[in-house]
Chains A and B, each alone.
Chain A
Amino acid sequence: KAGVTQTPRYLIKTRGQQVTLSCSPISGHRSVSWYQQTPGQGLQFLFEYFSETQRNKGNFPGRFSGRQFSNSRSEMNVSTLELGDSALYLCASSFQPGSGSPLHFGNGTRLTVT
């Protein structure tokens, strides 16, 4: 079974630009979550989608948005990029939201904002 696939693996953008990251979950998984990982702040939750609906959202500005498609693939978008948005963005999927379902992570997209 293929794992969680995130594209692209690396991105370099300039301040003020926008970026879209993509995540393909494991086949059959309907829940997709996004996390931002930085050395200073650790792993921070961005949002979670299940069956095309955003179920939970972390404490990030409105510049961060996401969506999920009918095939469970998900995208996240960051507009008006700032230097502080440089981070590793991780996507995770699970069969469904629930206390016993572990998360399966992709290898992330490394975003560098210059």
Chain B
Amino acid sequence: GDSVTQMEGPVTLSEEAFLTINCTYTATGYPSLFWYVQYPGEGLQLLLKATKADDKGSNKGFEATYRKETTSFHLEKGSVQVSDSAVYFCALSEDQKVTFGTGTKLQVIP
């Protein structure tokens, strides 16, 4: 079945550092890929998405590129802020089912 593997957290970075959160997936076909973010005390919210190979999703300075050859969808941001501290979930959607990764907690310190 489908699966999503994210890097283990927590990830601790200093403000203005470069962020990469790795995400790889296993799917039988051509899934859509998503990154969701969860701030403390809230539900998940969509950060960005990509629906086909080589698509780049971007939002709020975050980017991720759908790499079919490496089955990856790594999340990147050039300069993180304290306000980016949250849990990030990679997810795929295929055959009308959604599969989430385990989440990666990011802590940004001033």
Binding site for B on A (CB under 8 A): 4, 6, 33, 42-43, 45, 55-56, 90, 92, 97-108
Give 26 CB contacts A-B under 8 Å: A43-B103, A45-B98, A45-B100, A90-B43, A92-B43, A92-B44, A98-B96, A99-B31, A99-B32, A99-B51, A99-B93, A99-B94, A100-B49, A100-B93, A101-B93, A102-B46, A102-B49, A103-B46, A103-B98, A104-B45, A104-B46, A105-B43, A105-B45, A107-B41, A108-B42, A108-B43
Contact, CB under 8 Å: A4 / B43: yes
Most chain A CB neighbours (cut-off 10 Å) among B43, B46, B94: B43
Known: A99-B51, A100-B32. A56 touches B44 (CB 8 A): no
Contacts of B93 in A (CB 8 A): 98-101
Binding site for A on B (CB under 8 A): 31-32, 34, 36, 41-46, 49, 51, 89, 93-98, 100, 102-103
Q: Give the shortest distance, in Å, between B71 (CB) and chain A (any CB).
A: 16
Interface of B is mostly: strand
Contact, CB under 8 Å: B41 / A33: no
Contact, CB under 8 Å: B44 / A90: yes
Contacts of A103 in B (CB 8 A): 36, 44, 46, 98
Measured CB to CB, the nearest residue on chain B to A9 is B41
Contacts of B89 in A (CB 8 A): 43
Contacts of A97 in B (CB 8 A): 96
Known: A90-B44, A103-B46, A107-B43. A42 touches B100 (CB 8 A): yes
Measured CB to CB, the nearest residue on chain A to B39 is A107
The 8 closest A-B pairs by CB, nearest first: A105-B43, A97-B96, A99-B32, A102-B46, A105-B44, A42-B102, A99-B93, A107-B43
Compute how far the CA of A97 lies from the CA of B43 in the bound complex, rounded to whole angstroms: 20
Compute how far the CA of A43 lies from the CA of B44 in the bound complex, rounded to whole angstroms: 10
Measured CB to CB, the nearest residue on chain B to A55 is B96
Contact, CB under 8 Å: B42 / A107: yes
